[in-house]
Structure 1
Amino acid sequence: MHKEPKVMSNIRITKQFNFETGHALYGYDGKCRNVHGHSYKLSVTVIGTPITDTANVKLGMVIDFGDLKKIVKEDIVDVFDHATVFNKNTPHVELAQELSTRGHNVILVDYQPTSENMVIDFAEKIKKRLPEHIQLHSLKLQETETSFAEWYATDNN
Protein backbone atom coordinates (compact mmCIF):
# COMPACT_ATOMS: atom_id res chain seq x y z
CA MET A 1 0.00 0.00 0.00
CA HIS A 2 1.24 3.46 -0.93
CA LYS A 3 1.89 5.74 2.04
CA GLU A 4 1.56 9.51 1.96
CA PRO A 5 4.51 11.47 3.38
CA LYS A 6 4.14 12.02 7.15
CA VAL A 7 5.64 15.49 7.34
CA MET A 8 3.80 17.99 5.19
CA SER A 9 5.94 20.68 3.70
CA ASN A 10 4.89 23.98 2.20
CA ILE A 11 5.15 23.61 -1.55
CA ARG A 12 5.15 26.35 -4.17
CA ILE A 13 3.14 25.78 -7.33
CA THR A 14 3.67 28.00 -10.39
CA LYS A 15 1.50 28.42 -13.48
CA GLN A 16 2.55 30.58 -16.42
CA PHE A 17 0.29 32.65 -18.67
CA ASN A 18 0.73 34.69 -21.84
CA PHE A 19 -1.32 37.62 -23.10
CA GLU A 20 -0.99 40.57 -25.47
CA THR A 21 -1.79 44.00 -24.05
CA GLY A 22 -1.35 47.55 -25.26
CA HIS A 23 -0.76 50.57 -23.05
CA ALA A 24 0.58 54.11 -22.98
CA LEU A 25 2.26 55.96 -20.13
CA TYR A 26 0.85 59.47 -19.87
CA GLY A 27 3.47 62.11 -19.04
CA TYR A 28 6.38 59.70 -19.50
CA ASP A 29 9.58 61.18 -20.99
CA GLY A 30 10.39 58.30 -23.35
CA LYS A 31 8.94 56.24 -26.19
CA CYS A 32 6.44 54.49 -23.91
CA ARG A 33 4.29 57.62 -23.82
CA ASN A 34 3.06 56.39 -27.22
CA VAL A 35 0.46 53.64 -27.48
CA HIS A 36 2.29 50.34 -27.90
CA GLY A 37 1.96 46.73 -26.82
CA HIS A 38 3.75 43.83 -25.18
CA SER A 39 3.58 40.06 -25.22
CA TYR A 40 3.32 39.71 -21.45
CA LYS A 41 4.33 36.55 -19.58
CA LEU A 42 2.82 36.18 -16.13
CA SER A 43 4.10 33.58 -13.64
CA VAL A 44 1.79 33.01 -10.67
CA THR A 45 3.23 31.17 -7.67
CA VAL A 46 1.08 30.04 -4.75
CA ILE A 47 2.14 28.23 -1.60
CA GLY A 48 0.43 25.68 0.59
CA THR A 49 0.60 22.09 1.83
CA PRO A 50 -0.50 19.19 -0.37
CA ILE A 51 -3.94 17.77 0.44
CA THR A 52 -3.63 14.64 2.63
CA ASP A 53 -7.29 13.60 2.78
CA THR A 54 -7.31 10.26 0.89
CA ALA A 55 -11.01 10.75 0.06
CA ASN A 56 -10.27 14.03 -1.74
CA VAL A 57 -9.91 13.73 -5.52
CA LYS A 58 -7.17 16.40 -5.30
CA LEU A 59 -5.06 14.21 -2.98
CA GLY A 60 -1.40 15.24 -3.05
CA MET A 61 -2.08 18.61 -4.71
CA VAL A 62 -1.55 22.04 -3.20
CA ILE A 63 -4.06 23.36 -5.75
CA ASP A 64 -5.21 21.85 -9.01
CA PHE A 65 -3.36 23.66 -11.82
CA GLY A 66 -6.73 23.85 -13.58
CA ASP A 67 -8.30 25.68 -10.64
CA LEU A 68 -5.43 28.18 -10.56
CA LYS A 69 -5.71 28.61 -14.33
CA LYS A 70 -9.44 29.35 -14.04
CA ILE A 71 -8.85 32.15 -11.50
CA VAL A 72 -6.05 33.84 -13.45
CA LYS A 73 -7.76 33.44 -16.82
CA GLU A 74 -11.05 34.92 -15.61
CA ASP A 75 -9.61 37.86 -13.67
CA ILE A 76 -6.53 38.75 -15.72
CA VAL A 77 -5.82 36.97 -19.01
CA ASP A 78 -9.34 37.13 -20.47
CA VAL A 79 -9.68 40.77 -19.36
CA PHE A 80 -6.29 42.12 -20.44
CA ASP A 81 -5.59 40.00 -23.55
CA HIS A 82 -5.82 42.12 -26.70
CA ALA A 83 -6.97 45.15 -24.72
CA THR A 84 -5.35 48.55 -24.32
CA VAL A 85 -4.86 49.92 -20.80
CA PHE A 86 -4.96 53.62 -19.96
CA ASN A 87 -4.72 55.60 -16.72
CA LYS A 88 -8.22 57.06 -16.34
CA ASN A 89 -6.86 59.95 -14.25
CA THR A 90 -5.12 61.52 -17.25
CA PRO A 91 -6.20 63.08 -20.57
CA HIS A 92 -5.75 59.59 -22.05
CA VAL A 93 -9.33 59.03 -20.91
CA GLU A 94 -10.45 60.95 -24.01
CA LEU A 95 -8.38 58.68 -26.28
CA ALA A 96 -9.80 55.66 -24.45
CA GLN A 97 -13.37 56.85 -25.01
CA GLU A 98 -12.70 57.45 -28.71
CA LEU A 99 -11.19 53.96 -29.13
CA SER A 100 -14.10 52.40 -27.21
CA THR A 101 -16.68 54.06 -29.45
CA ARG A 102 -14.82 52.58 -32.43
CA GLY A 103 -15.13 49.08 -30.96
CA HIS A 104 -11.71 48.69 -29.36
CA ASN A 105 -11.27 46.77 -26.10
CA VAL A 106 -10.10 49.42 -23.63
CA ILE A 107 -9.44 49.08 -19.90
CA LEU A 108 -9.35 52.18 -17.71
CA VAL A 109 -7.39 51.78 -14.49
CA ASP A 110 -6.77 54.20 -11.64
CA TYR A 111 -2.99 53.89 -11.92
CA GLN A 112 -0.20 54.45 -14.43
CA PRO A 113 -0.19 51.11 -16.34
CA THR A 114 3.45 50.19 -15.78
CA SER A 115 4.46 46.58 -15.17
CA GLU A 116 5.05 47.48 -11.53
CA ASN A 117 1.51 48.78 -11.01
CA MET A 118 -0.08 46.05 -13.10
CA VAL A 119 1.58 43.33 -11.01
CA ILE A 120 0.24 44.97 -7.81
CA ASP A 121 -3.26 45.05 -9.33
CA PHE A 122 -2.98 41.41 -10.42
CA ALA A 123 -1.82 40.31 -6.95
CA GLU A 124 -4.87 41.91 -5.32
CA LYS A 125 -7.23 40.28 -7.82
CA ILE A 126 -5.71 36.80 -7.43
CA LYS A 127 -5.51 36.94 -3.61
CA LYS A 128 -9.28 37.58 -3.42
CA ARG A 129 -10.04 34.40 -5.37
CA LEU A 130 -7.65 31.87 -3.80
CA PRO A 131 -8.99 29.21 -1.40
CA GLU A 132 -8.42 29.99 2.29
CA HIS A 133 -5.58 27.47 2.73
CA ILE A 134 -3.60 28.75 -0.29
CA GLN A 135 -1.50 31.93 -0.21
CA LEU A 136 -0.20 33.93 -3.12
CA HIS A 137 3.58 33.68 -2.88
CA SER A 138 4.76 35.73 -5.86
CA LEU A 139 4.02 37.10 -9.29
CA LYS A 140 6.42 37.81 -12.10
CA LEU A 141 5.17 39.96 -14.97
CA GLN A 142 7.56 39.89 -17.89
CA GLU A 143 7.06 42.80 -20.30
CA THR A 144 9.91 42.00 -22.68
CA GLU A 145 12.51 39.27 -22.97
CA THR A 146 14.80 41.15 -20.58
CA SER A 147 12.46 43.26 -18.41
CA PHE A 148 10.05 42.20 -15.68
CA ALA A 149 8.41 43.25 -12.41
CA GLU A 150 8.00 40.95 -9.43
CA TRP A 151 5.63 40.98 -6.46
CA TYR A 152 6.40 38.88 -3.35
CA ALA A 153 4.06 38.39 -0.40
CA THR A 154 7.05 38.52 1.97
CA ASP A 155 7.82 42.07 0.74
CA ASN A 156 4.25 43.20 1.36
CA ASN A 157 3.31 42.05 4.86
Structure 2
Amino acid sequence: MSTPHQREQPTPDEASAATAPAVPNAADLDVLAAQLSGTLVTDPDVVDAASRDRSPVEEVGAAIALVRATCRDDVVATLRWANERGVPVITRGAGTGLSGGANAIDGCVVLDVSRMNAIKTINPSRAHRRRRTGCSQRRSVGRSA
Protein backbone atom coordinates (compact mmCIF):
# COMPACT_ATOMS: atom_id res chain seq x y z
CA MET A 1 0.00 0.00 0.00
CA SER A 2 1.28 3.45 -0.80
CA THR A 3 1.17 6.59 1.28
CA PRO A 4 -0.17 9.87 -0.16
CA HIS A 5 3.40 10.89 -1.14
CA GLN A 6 4.32 7.63 -2.88
CA ARG A 7 3.21 6.31 -6.21
CA GLU A 8 2.76 2.64 -6.80
CA GLN A 9 5.20 1.32 -9.37
CA PRO A 10 3.70 -0.30 -12.48
CA THR A 11 4.18 -4.01 -12.95
CA PRO A 12 6.64 -5.00 -15.71
CA ASP A 13 3.70 -5.84 -18.00
CA GLU A 14 2.09 -2.44 -17.39
CA ALA A 15 5.38 -0.64 -18.00
CA SER A 16 5.97 -2.58 -21.22
CA ALA A 17 2.46 -1.81 -22.49
CA ALA A 18 2.91 1.87 -21.73
CA THR A 19 6.12 2.11 -23.78
CA ALA A 20 5.15 -0.17 -26.68
CA PRO A 21 4.49 1.68 -29.94
CA ALA A 22 0.94 1.94 -31.14
CA VAL A 23 0.02 -0.39 -33.98
CA PRO A 24 -1.97 1.46 -36.62
CA ASN A 25 -4.65 -0.38 -38.55
CA ALA A 26 -5.27 -0.38 -42.30
CA ALA A 27 -7.59 2.64 -42.02
CA ASP A 28 -4.82 4.60 -40.25
CA LEU A 29 -2.39 3.72 -43.03
CA ASP A 30 -4.97 4.79 -45.63
CA VAL A 31 -5.13 8.20 -43.90
CA LEU A 32 -1.37 8.53 -44.24
CA ALA A 33 -1.35 7.37 -47.87
CA ALA A 34 -3.94 10.01 -48.78
CA GLN A 35 -1.64 12.76 -47.46
CA LEU A 36 1.42 11.75 -49.50
CA SER A 37 2.63 12.72 -52.94
CA GLY A 38 5.21 9.94 -52.50
CA THR A 39 4.23 6.34 -51.92
CA LEU A 40 3.28 4.24 -48.92
CA VAL A 41 4.44 0.63 -49.16
CA THR A 42 3.14 -2.14 -46.91
CA ASP A 43 4.42 -5.18 -48.84
CA PRO A 44 6.38 -7.03 -46.11
CA ASP A 45 9.26 -8.02 -48.43
CA VAL A 46 9.76 -4.46 -49.70
CA VAL A 47 9.44 -2.97 -46.21
CA ASP A 48 11.92 -5.51 -44.83
CA ALA A 49 14.47 -4.74 -47.55
CA ALA A 50 14.31 -1.02 -46.65
CA SER A 51 14.48 -1.68 -42.91
CA ARG A 52 18.26 -2.01 -42.55
CA ASP A 53 21.45 -0.24 -43.41
CA ARG A 54 24.74 -2.03 -44.10
CA SER A 55 25.59 -2.73 -40.47
CA PRO A 56 26.57 -6.38 -40.14
CA VAL A 57 25.83 -6.65 -36.42
CA GLU A 58 22.94 -4.41 -35.41
CA GLU A 59 19.49 -5.90 -34.82
CA VAL A 60 16.60 -5.03 -37.12
CA GLY A 61 12.99 -4.77 -35.99
CA ALA A 62 9.79 -5.26 -37.98
CA ALA A 63 8.55 -2.04 -39.57
CA ILE A 64 4.86 -1.76 -40.46
CA ALA A 65 5.27 0.43 -43.53
CA LEU A 66 7.68 2.32 -45.75
CA VAL A 67 7.08 5.91 -46.86
CA ARG A 68 9.01 6.90 -49.99
CA ALA A 69 9.00 10.66 -49.54
CA THR A 70 9.44 12.89 -52.59
CA CYS A 71 9.14 16.28 -50.92
CA ARG A 72 9.19 18.11 -47.61
CA ASP A 73 5.40 17.87 -47.33
CA ASP A 74 5.65 14.05 -47.32
CA VAL A 75 8.09 14.23 -44.41
CA VAL A 76 5.85 16.65 -42.49
CA ALA A 77 2.73 14.56 -43.14
CA THR A 78 4.47 11.34 -42.06
CA LEU A 79 5.87 12.83 -38.86
CA ARG A 80 2.57 14.49 -37.95
CA TRP A 81 0.64 11.27 -38.60
CA ALA A 82 3.10 9.19 -36.57
CA ASN A 83 3.19 11.67 -33.70
CA GLU A 84 -0.61 11.70 -33.43
CA ARG A 85 -0.63 7.91 -33.15
CA GLY A 86 2.53 7.30 -31.12
CA VAL A 87 4.21 5.42 -33.97
CA PRO A 88 8.02 5.61 -34.10
CA VAL A 89 9.70 6.76 -37.34
CA ILE A 90 13.12 5.71 -38.58
CA THR A 91 14.58 7.91 -41.31
CA ARG A 92 16.54 6.28 -44.10
CA GLY A 93 18.74 7.88 -46.74
CA ALA A 94 20.70 5.67 -49.11
CA GLY A 95 21.05 2.87 -46.53
CA THR A 96 24.83 2.95 -46.78
CA GLY A 97 25.47 3.55 -43.08
CA LEU A 98 27.44 1.00 -41.10
CA SER A 99 26.20 1.74 -37.58
CA GLY A 100 22.59 0.53 -37.65
CA GLY A 101 21.18 4.06 -37.40
CA ALA A 102 18.70 3.40 -40.22
CA ASN A 103 17.62 0.02 -38.90
CA ALA A 104 13.94 -0.37 -38.17
CA ILE A 105 12.52 -0.99 -34.72
CA ASP A 106 9.37 -3.02 -34.10
CA GLY A 107 6.20 -1.18 -35.09
CA CYS A 108 7.91 1.76 -36.79
CA VAL A 109 7.42 3.46 -40.13
CA VAL A 110 10.56 3.71 -42.24
CA LEU A 111 10.75 7.16 -43.84
CA ASP A 112 12.89 6.87 -46.99
CA VAL A 113 14.17 10.28 -48.13
CA SER A 114 16.50 8.98 -50.85
CA ARG A 115 14.21 10.30 -53.61
CA MET A 116 14.63 13.83 -52.26
CA ASN A 117 17.97 14.03 -54.02
CA ALA A 118 18.05 17.30 -55.95
CA ILE A 119 21.12 19.50 -55.87
CA LYS A 120 19.79 22.98 -55.22
CA THR A 121 22.87 25.15 -55.78
CA ILE A 122 26.58 24.78 -56.36
CA ASN A 123 28.97 27.65 -55.67
CA PRO A 124 32.49 26.50 -56.68
CA SER A 125 34.16 29.74 -55.59
CA ARG A 126 32.98 29.17 -52.01
CA ALA A 127 33.23 25.36 -52.21
CA HIS A 128 29.59 25.26 -51.14
CA ARG A 129 26.84 22.85 -52.21
CA ARG A 130 23.23 23.05 -51.15
CA ARG A 131 21.38 19.80 -51.62
CA ARG A 132 18.20 18.09 -50.52
CA THR A 133 18.36 15.56 -47.72
CA GLY A 134 18.43 12.43 -49.90
CA CYS A 135 21.28 13.59 -52.12
CA SER A 136 24.40 11.54 -51.45
CA GLN A 137 27.76 13.14 -50.84
CA ARG A 138 29.16 11.19 -53.81
CA ARG A 139 26.48 12.55 -56.16
CA SER A 140 26.92 16.14 -55.04
CA VAL A 141 30.74 15.99 -55.23
CA GLY A 142 30.54 14.50 -58.72
CA ARG A 143 28.30 17.34 -59.90
CA SER A 144 30.50 20.09 -58.49
CA ALA A 145 33.74 18.85 -60.04
Q: Would you say same fold, with TM above 0.5?
A: no
Higher RCO, 1 vs 2 (CA within 8 Å, ≥6 residues apart): 1
What TM-score, normalized by structure 2, do the two folds share? 0.28
Q: Calculate the TM-score normalised by the size of structure 1.
A: 0.26
